[in-house]
Structure 1
Amino acid sequence: MPFVEQRGSKHRVKWWAGEYLDSGKKKYESESGFDDYDSAYDYGLDREYEVRHGTHLRKSSGDLLFKDYSLPVWLPDQDLRPSSLKTYQSMIKGQINPQWGRRRVGEIDIPEYIAWRNQLNQKAAAGELSRTYVTDILMVFSMMMSDAVERYKLRKTVPMPPATPRRGKYVKKPRKVKKPLAMAPVYQLAVNAYVVWGFTGWAYIWHAAFAGMRPAEMYGLQKQYSSPNWPDTEPDGKLRQDAQERYAKTPATRVQYQHQWVNGRMALVDPKYDSHRTLVLPPFLAKIHEEQAAAHASPWLFPAMNGGPLLGTRFEQSYWHPIRDGSPAREARRDYARPAIPAVKEFAELPIYRLRHWMKECLDEEGHSEVAVETRMGHELAGVKGLYSNLTLKMEADIIESQQERWDGFQRAAGGLWMPPVPSSLPVDLSTEGESQLKGPDGLPLY
C-alpha cells in the first residue's frame, strides 16, 4: 500500500516501484506536492496498479536527455542499410537533435511537437526545406518516439497527436507534372555524354534509358554481371545454371549490387529493397555492352574518366551537369580539348533518374504487363497480385522486341544519325565529325 506523509502544507506519497535494491530491500519511488492526503494516496494506488500490471515506468526513465537517446541508443538498434543509416543520422544531427537534444525524452508533449511540425512546414512552404525532407524528418522522429514508448519504456505515450478525420474541402496535394519525353532529347544526352566521357558516356546514357537501373546500381555494375559475360561468370552455381538455361539466346545483365559509401569506405551492398533482378537487353543495347566491355580493362562496366569507380567522382557536377546543361568549348587541357556542348532543355534541372522513369513510361505506353514493368524497375507488386504474378519468358521477349523497335523506329525517322566510332576510353573531339550529322526525326540538326 502507498505511504503518505505530510511535508509542511503539502503531502508526499511513496510506493514500491516493483524493483529491489542491491541490498535486497524494496526500491521505492515518491511524488510530492499534493494538497491533501486523499489525492496523494490515490496517486500512489494508481502507480502500484501500474506496477502490478507491468505498465509502470520508472520515474527516472524519462529523465534521459534526447541527445543521449537518439544517436547512442536508438540509431544503433535500427536494422537499416548503410545509406539509410547515414540519412537518418544526418536528419537527427541536422534537424531533430538541435530541436530536442537538451530536452528529457519524457518531457516532450503534444503542443510542443505541433509547434515544431508547423515550423518545419512553414520552412517547406518558404522553400527553405523540401516537402519530402520535412516528411522524412517527422517520420524519423515519430519512429523514435514510438520506440521510446514501446521498446525502451521511456514514456507512456507518444507526443504526436492522433490522426483525426479530414475536415473541410479536399485540397489535392501538389505534384510535379512530368512532361512527356521523346527519343531525340535522350539521343542528345548520349551524344553529349560521348563528348564529356567517351564511349562510356554513350553506353551509360542508353543503359540508363533502356535498362532503367538506379544510379547506385549502375555505379556498382561489374563486367562479370553484364552481357556478354553474364551468366557464364555468375559465381552462384545454381543461379548460373538456371540463367544459362533461361538466357541461352538472350543477352542479359544481372543487378547484383549497388555501390555506396559505408562508414567512409566504398562498398558493394545489396540493391535497394533487395531487388536483385535480371534485365534482358535489346540487340542494340547488347551490342553497346559488348563494345563497352571490350574498350577498357576496368572491372567496372562504366568506369570514371580516370578508370576508377564512379562512386569516387563528383558525378553530378563533373558528368551529369555538362551532359544535361551543356558546356562551352574548352581548349586543350592535359590530354584533350572539348567542343561546345548544347544544353538539353527537356532535361533542364532534372536528375538523371528521369531516364529510369522514361523507360517505365515507354513500357507502360507499349502495353506491357504490370508485373513485367515493375520487375524490371526493381519493385514488388503488393498483395495477391504480387503473390500470384510471375515474370515469363514471353514477357521478357516482348520487352526486348518493343525496345528494339523504339530504337529502330527512331533511327528510321531520323534518316541517319551520328553514331560513335570504335570505342575510345577517353573523351574525343566530335567537331571533326560534322555538326550536320546530329539530326532529329525531322532530318534537321538536333540543337
Structure 2
Amino acid sequence: MPYAEQRGNKWRVKWNTGKKHPETGRWIYDGKSGFNSRDDAINYGLDRESDIRNQRYTSRRDGAISMREYSKTWQQTIDVGHLRKRSVESISRLYIESYWGDTTLADIKASAYRAWELWLKDQSQVGERYRGEILLVFSMMMDDAVEDGLRQASPVVKKKRRRGTYKKKPRERKRNMRIEDIHQLACNALSFWGFPGYVYVWTFAMTGMRPAELYGLRPEYCHPQWPASDPLNDPTEEDREERHEEDMERYGAALMPAIRVQWQHQRLEGVGEPGLYAPKYESRRTLVIPRFLAELLEMLLSSRERESEWVFTSVNSGPLINANFPYFYWRKFADGREEKKEFERVRLGKRQTVPSWRPTPELLPVERWRGKRQYLVRHGHKEWLDEDGHSRIAAESRMGHELAGVEGLYSNVTPAMERAIMETLQARWEGFVLTLPDGWEPPRSPRALPVDLSQWMKLQVEAAKAKKL
C-alpha cells in the first residue's frame, strides 16, 4: 500500500517496487512529488503498484541513464558488419548523442521525438535517405531500452498503413551506360593516371565490382595468376579447399579467365591503417572476364616496375584506399580538367609559378557522367547483363547478391552461364572497336606507356573484323 506525506503545499507518494537492494537486503522504494491532494498521490501510487504486479513497471532509477551513456553501451551489443558498425557509430555521435546528450531515457517523450524529427529535416546536410537511417538507429535503440526494462514504451510511434494519395519516392536519375562513354572515361584515366587507370575503368565496367573490392584486388586473386596462386588463407571461408579444387577445373587462362573477389580494402573509423575485410554481405565470388580484359590485366601485371600487393595502385604507387579516389581521380575522369603544365605556390612568402612534376593534357568531360558517382558504373554493368538476357541467378550472383526464396534455393550458376556472360561482354567490346577510326592512337599519358597500346588496339580491331567475317 503506498503512503503519502505532505511537503509544503504539495503531496508526495512512495511505493514499494518489489525489489530489494543487493547489498543491504532492504526494500527499494520509488516516489513522486508535486500532487495537489493526498487522494491524487495515493491513486498514483496504487497505479504504480498495479504496474509492478502486472510487470509493466519501469523504475525511475532504471530510466535515469543518460542517452550519451546508453548509446555507447548499446553500440557494443549490436552484431553487424564493420561498415554498418561504422555507420551506426557515426550516426550516434553526430545526431543522437549530440542532440539528446544528458537527457535520460525516461525523459524522452513522443513529443520530444517529433521535435527532433523536425530538427533533422532542417539540417541541410541530412538527405531523406540518411535521415531515415538516423531514425531507424534511434528506433532500434529505444526498442532495446524497452526490452532492457529501462522504459515502458518507445517514444517512436510506429507508422500506420499508408492512406491517401500515393507519393512515389524520388530516385536518382540514371542514364543507360554506353560503351563509348566508358571508352572516353578510360582514355581520361589513361591521360591522368596512366596505364593502370585505363585498365581500372575497363575492369570496373566489365565486372561490376564494388569500388572497395577493386581497391583491394591483389595479384594472387587476379588473372592470369589466379586460381593457381590462391593462398587459401581466409579463415572465415570454411569450404575454401573444396572451392579451390573446383576453381582449378573451371577457371584459368586455357579455360575461362577470371577474377576472384575475396576482399575489400576499407578503413575503419578510429583506426589509422586500412585493412582487408570480407566483401559486403560476405559476397565472395568469382567473375569471369572477356578475353580483351584478360589481355589488359596480363599486360598490366607483367609491366609493373616493382612488386606491389595491389593490382591497381595510385599515381604515387600506393594503395588506392589512401588516394580519396572519388574526388581526386573519378571527378577528373568524368567532369574533365584543364591542361596542367605548371602550378602556383607560395614559398617564403612569395608566389611562384613552377612546372608540374606530372603535366597532364586537357581531359574532355564525359557529358553523361558529369557529376555522377562512380558506383553507377556497377549499376551499368547490371544493365548490360540484363540487355544480353542472362539468367537472374547468374546476374545477381555476379553482382554479389543472393536470390531469396525458392528461386535462390534451387538455382545454381553453371559453367555454361558464365561462358555466356564472358562471350557477350567480349562481343560488346568487339562491336565497339569496329567503330573506332582507322589508326586510332591512345591519348598522351603522364608516364610512358609500358605497352604499345595502339598496336594492341589494332590487333583487337583486326580480330573483331575477322570474327565478323
Query: 1:139 is aligned with what amino acid?
Result: L
Q: Distance in 2 between matches of 1:339 and 1:138?
A: 47
Matched residue, 2:352: none
CA shift at 1:94, angstroms? 2.2
SS of 1:163's partner is coil
Matched residue, 1:261: 267
CA gap 1:416/1:257 in 2 versus in 1, 3 angstroms: farther
CA shift at 1:43, angstroms? 3.3
Matched, 1:325 2:360: no
- TM-score normalised according to structure 2 size: 0.84
8 A Cα contact 2:359 2:446, kept in partner = no
Matched, 1:220 2:216: yes
CA shift at 1:182, angstroms? 1.5
Q: Percent identity?
A: 40
Query: 1:147 is aligned with what amino acid?
Result: D
Q: Distance in 1 between matches of 2:449 and 2:418?
A: 36
8 A Cα contact 2:340 2:356, kept in partner = no
CA shift at 1:42, angstroms? 4.1
User: For residues 164-191 of structure 1, what are the alpha-carbon distances to aligned partners after superposition, in whole Å with 9 as ceiling and x for unaligned?
Assistant: 2323222222222212231111100001
SS of 1:413's partner is coil
Q: What is the number of residues matched between the two proteins?
A: 426
CA gap 1:299/1:420 in 2 versus in 1, 3 angstroms: farther
Query: 1:329 is aligned with what amino acid?
Result: E
CA gap 1:40/1:385 in 2 versus in 1, 3 angstroms: farther
Query: 1:131 is aligned with what amino acid?
Result: E
Which of 239, 242, 245 is the matching residue for 1:241? 245
Query: 2:405 is aligned with what amino acid?
Result: G
Which of 153, 158, 165 is the matching residue for 2:161? 165
Q: Distance in 2 between matches of 1:52 and 1:340?
A: 78
Q: Distance in 1 between matches of 2:390 and 2:191?
A: 34
SS of 1:176's partner is coil
CA shift at 1:76, angstroms? 2.3
Q: Distance in 1 between matches of 2:302 and 2:44?
A: 79
User: For residues 139-163 of structure 1, what are the alpha-carbon distances to aligned partners after superposition, in whole Å with 9 as ceiling and x for unaligned?
Assistant: 222122222222x322111111221
Greater shift in the superposed pair: 45-54 or 284-293: 45-54
Matched residue, 1:143: 140
Structure 1 residues without counterparts, runs of 5 or longer: 438-447
Q: What CA RMSD, in Å, does the superposition of the two structures yield over aligned residues?
A: 2.6
CA gap 1:7/1:224 in 2 versus in 1, 3 angstroms: same
Query: 2:100 is aligned with what amino acid?
Result: W
Q: Distance in 2 between matches of 1:416 and 1:49?
A: 89
8 A Cα contact 2:105 2:150, kept in partner = yes
Query: 1:254 is aligned with what amino acid?
Result: R
8 A Cα contact 1:338 1:428, kept in partner = no
Structure 2 residues without counterparts, runs of 5 or longer: 233-240, 343-354, 459-469
User: For residues 333-354 of structure 1, what are the alpha-carbon distances to aligned partners after superposition, in whole Å with 9 as ceiling and x for unaligned?
Assistant: 5654322111111101011111
User: For residues 305-354 of structure 1, what are the alpha-carbon distances to aligned partners after superposition, in whole Å with 9 as ceiling and x for unaligned?
Assistant: 22211111121232112111112222275654322111111101011111
CA shift at 1:294, angstroms? 1.3
SS of 1:181's partner is coil
Q: Distance in 2 between matches of 1:337 and 1:401?
A: 39
Matched residue, 1:100: 100
Matched residue, 2:256: 250
8 A Cα contact 2:68 2:102, kept in partner = yes
Matched residue, 2:297: 289
CA shift at 1:102, angstroms? 3.0
8 A Cα contact 2:192 2:446, kept in partner = no
User: For residues 410-443 of structure 1, what are the alpha-carbon distances to aligned partners after superposition, in whole Å with 9 as ceiling and x for unaligned?
Assistant: 112335474659xx994669xx98xxx9xxxxxx
Q: Distance in 2 between matches of 1:425 and 1:34?
A: 80
8 A Cα contact 2:283 2:400, kept in partner = yes
Matched residue, 2:464: none
8 A Cα contact 1:195 1:428, kept in partner = no
